[in-house]
Structure formats: structure tokens, C-alpha cells
Amino acid sequence: MPKNKTIFVCSSCGYESAKWLGKCPACNEWNTFYEEKVVATSSVSASGSQNRVKVAPRKLKEVEGIETARTSTGIGELDRVLGGGLVKGSLVLVGGEPGIGKSTLILQLCDKVKGEGKVLYVSGEESAEQVKIRADRLNINNDDLMFLGETNIDSIQEAIVSINPKLVIIDSIQTMYSEEISSAAGTVSQVREITSRIMRMCKDNGITTIIIGHVTKDGNIAGPRVLEHMVDTVLYIEGERYFSYRILRSVKNRFGSTNEVGMFEMKNEGMVEITNPSSILISDREDNPAGSVIVASMEGTRPLLVELQALTTPSVYGIPKRTANGIDYNRLAVLIAVIEKRAGIPLGTHDVYLNVVSGIRISEPAIDLGIILSCVSSFKNISIPQNVVAIGEVGLTGEVRAVNMIEKRIKEAEKLGFKKCIIPESNKKLLKDEFKLDIIGVRNINEAIKGLQLK
């Protein structure tokens, strides 16, 4: 009979050791060793492999395709991100920071799928009473929803086999453990082994499984990176804990597009869908403050109109301060340098603070022009008209470069009643549709500043 043994492998370079080491002798990295189970193959099993059924390769065009069966979650924004609903037998990983709303959203999903079959909610973090309190607050009323408070994967598999549910929730993967591995729950080896067993179980029995995972301080799912490769779909819930808005983003989806996002608002009754995010994000805008501008950003295939606010003040100390909330700090520093060099505005002696309203983080370069206009508006103390939307990427020479999906952005601005849209000149030349709002094409930041009379 083959013997099981464990080795320790460096996650950085793959160096193997018979015992745990604090520092890898091969790559000199610290705390990178994780435990891995190894099964030695016996001579009996090797000879027995001759009796295995041989599978011959087939031509791909001769394989009969089957239509993917989907089950609607009853939550429109979640269906949008999943590509139309949950696929039978799929494995979905949902990640996010603590308190962001992962368990709340999934518990709401358990209620929306009532009538589709039994749902098993497995929790290793909360007791049945704690989950029941949240369920009552969310008005969960699904008679087929069952709860299991367990962390041993063997016991969980036995319960799944006996109940045969249509949907299984694992909350969370970091609390589950297998007795075959000596390391503690949540370690790299435990997370990988548990996910592997859950994947085999859901594929063999056609059970849709949703795994909830915690994230590290870097924003990645805790555990090995291979975890995201094993599952079919990876979803992240993003947002600031002290803001009510949440973005559900797909970073991997074998059954749909990864370019979709869903918007939610956290309320007392749970995660509430936002079907028109742009109108919500700019609803609390003041009359006409200096340093404020509306930009059009693409989140997946959905255009979002978001307010940017900039504040510039003379620096009291020798080194000016730059603070960016909602965008990359280095990007702000580059654009300030462009303003100084190409527009001749001396921001080098001023502190610059930039904020994306509503706690949303934007990484798209199409908001560059809006950032520059808001900084110049605050420096000159001249307000940008309320009915203006700015779109464009800015290069180091001050040129305004073309962006993708420009017509979708303009249509969103037109739908919300904006009257003027500043876009790159190269985009304006390629527009096919006619719009009611005034479209101004600019080739560089000086033309944009002059067009808004900020000089």
C-alpha cells in the first residue's frame, strides 16, 4: 500500500525540503514554504495501471456540443456578471475584504433560488443562530435552505451525498480542513486540498458550488494562486467599508465575459441592486464648486459617470503633498508634472488632493483629462460648468489620446441630461451616431483648458 508523506515546497522558486524552513536556501525568500502531501506510487499500483481503460484522442469537430444549462440567481446584477446565471456543476469563488458583503449577497442568493432544489449553506465561521439572525434581517424565506456548521471536509462531503442539494455554499474556504494534512486550517496546503476535493465532488455530481474566500492585505484571495485556476469563475466584491456602494467584478469566467461588473448598495435589507449607477453616483453633487468635474469611465462594458474633486492649496512646507483617493497615486503625480510642463501652471508649490466621490476606485486612463481639468479648475478657482463631461487619456507631451467605447460614454452622458462633452479630436472624427449634446474635440490639454475658459 502506498505511503503518504509530506514535503515543504517554496512558493517562489519550487525548492523542496523535508522540513519547514524560515528562509529558502535557493531564492533567499522568507516565509514561502508550504506543506504538500505526496503519495508514493507502489509497484502494485504501477502494474495495475496496465488494466486501465485507454482513451484515444478524438477530432474536436466530431465532438457534439451541449448547451450550457443556467439557473437565474434572481439578482439581475449578479446574473449580469455571471453571464446569465449559475451553470450547473460549476465552481464559483467569491472574494472580498471582511465586512464588504460577501456572506450577505450569497445568503440573498440562497433565497432567490427557492423552488430550484435544496440549498446547503456550510459555515465554518458562524453558528446556526448567528446565520439565522442575518437571515431574519434579510427576510430570507426559503424552506429548502439547510445549514451545516462544520469545518471537516469529510463530514461536509457525507452531508452533501446524503442531502444531494442543487447548490452548496462554503463560507469560508480558509476555515475548512482535511485530517489527511497535518497543517492548520487556512494554510496553503489545506486550501488547495479542500478546493480540489470540492471541485471533484461538484463536477462528478453536477452540484453548483459557491466558495467564499477572504483576501490578503494585497487584495488577493488568501491561499495559493492555483486556487483561482482551479475554479470556473472568480468574482471580487470591491468598495470602501465606510461607503455604501459595492462593485461586483468578474476576473475569470469560463462560461461568460470577464468584462462585466454589477453595482450594489449596502442597506439594512441587504445588498440592493443599482440598475442606473451613473445617476446615483452624481446625485449628491453640489451646485457648481471649483475643482469638480464629471468623467465617463468604463467598468467592463458599462459606462459610469463619476464625479472627481480636486483641491489645490499653497504648500506650507518645502515639499508639496499629493494625496489620491480612488486613483493611482503615481498617475496623479505624472499628470501634475504634465500640467506644469505643458500648460505652464506652477503646481509644484501647491499641495494637490484628488478624490473620486462615492468611494469607487478607477484605474482607467480615460479619466486623465478630467483629473487635469479639475486640478486646473481648483488652482484658478474657476468652476467647470455642471453640464460638462470630460473624456480622454493624456500623454506625457500633453496630447489627448483616443479612448475606446466613446459612443457608449457619450450616450450615457446624453441620457443623464449633460449638454457638452469634451473628447479627443481623434475620437470625434470617427463618430458615426448623431448626438444632441455639444461635442468638443481637443488635441491637447491646452485646447481643453482654453475651451472651458480656465485660463
Number of neighbouring beta carbons within 10 Å of residue 397: 10
pLDDT surpassing 60 at residue 410: yes
> What is d(CA 283, CA 262) in angstroms, rounded to the nearest whole number?
19
Q: Average pLDDT, stretch 83-87?
A: 91
pLDDT surpassing 90 at residue 306: yes
pLDDT of residue 41: 45
With a pLDDT cut of 70, the percent of the chain lying above it is: 91
Q: Where are the beta strands (DSSP E) in 176-276?
A: 208-214, 233-238, 245-253, 261-267, 270-273
Helix%, strand%, coil% for the chain, nearest 5: 30, 30, 40
Q: Are 113 and 73 in contact (CB under 8 A)?
A: yes
pLDDT in tens, 161-209: 999 999 999 998 989 999 888 777 877 778 888 989 999 988 889 999 9
Which of 159, 138, 248, 156 lies closest to 194, judged by CA?
156
> What is d(CA 331, CA 1) in angstroms, rounded to the nearest whole number?
60
> What is d(CA 451, CA 449) in angstroms, rounded to the nearest whole number?
5
- Residue 451 has φ and ψ, to the nearest 5°, of -65, -30
Which of 71, 143, 77 lies closest to 105, judged by CA?
77
pLDDT surpassing 90 at residue 415: yes
Of the ranges 65-69, 93-97, 322-326, the best mean pLDDT one: 322-326
- Banded model confidence at residue 67, pLDDT cuts 50, 70, 90: low
pLDDT in tens, 243-270: 888 999 999 999 888 878 899 999 988 9
Q: Could you please report the per-residue DSSP string of 383-447?
A: PPPTTEEE--EE-TTSBEE--SSHHHHHHHHHHTT--EEEEEHHHHHT--S--SSEEEEESBHHH
pLDDT surpassing 80 at residue 335: yes
pLDDT surpassing 60 at residue 43: no
pLDDT of residue 387: 92
Range in 52-56, 158-162, 260-264 the model is least confident about: 52-56
> What is d(CA 332, CA 362) in angstroms, rounded to the nearest whole number?
12
Task: Label residue 363 exposed, middle or buried (CB < 10 Å: 0-12, 13-18, 19+).
Answer: exposed
> What is d(CA 141, CA 108) in angstroms, rounded to the nearest whole number?
10
Q: Which CATH topology does 280-451 take?
A: Ribosomal Protein S5; domain 2 (3.30.230)
Residues in a beta bridge with 18: none
Q: Are 213 and 103 in contact (CB under 8 A)?
A: no
Range in 30-39, 290-299, 318-327 the model is least confident about: 30-39
- Banded model confidence at residue 360, pLDDT cuts 50, 70, 90: confident
Q: Could you please report the per-residue DSSP string of 341-383?
A: HHH---GGGEEEEEEEGGG-----GGGHHHHHHHHHHHHHT-P
* Mean pLDDT (the chain, rounded): 88
pLDDT surpassing 60 at residue 223: no
Q: Which residue has the higher pLDDT, 52 or 437?
A: 437
Determine the 3-state secondary structure of 188 from DSSP.
Answer: helix
| C-alpha cell belonging to residue 270 | 441587504
pTM: 0.80
Q: Which residue has the higher pLDDT, 388 or 44?
A: 388
- Residue 298 has φ and ψ, to the nearest 5°, of -100, 120
Buried b (16+ CB within 10 A) or exposed e, 38-74: eeeeeeeeeeeeeeeeeeeeeeeeeeeeeeeebbebb
Range in 159-168, 178-187, 228-237, 272-281 the model is least confident about: 178-187
The domain 70-275 is classified under which CATH number: 3.40.50.300, 3.40.50.1100, 3.90.1640.10, 1.10.275.10?
Answer: 3.40.50.300
> What is d(CA 373, CA 52) in angstroms, rounded to the nearest whole number?
69
Range in 153-162, 216-225, 255-264, 334-343 the model is least confident about: 216-225
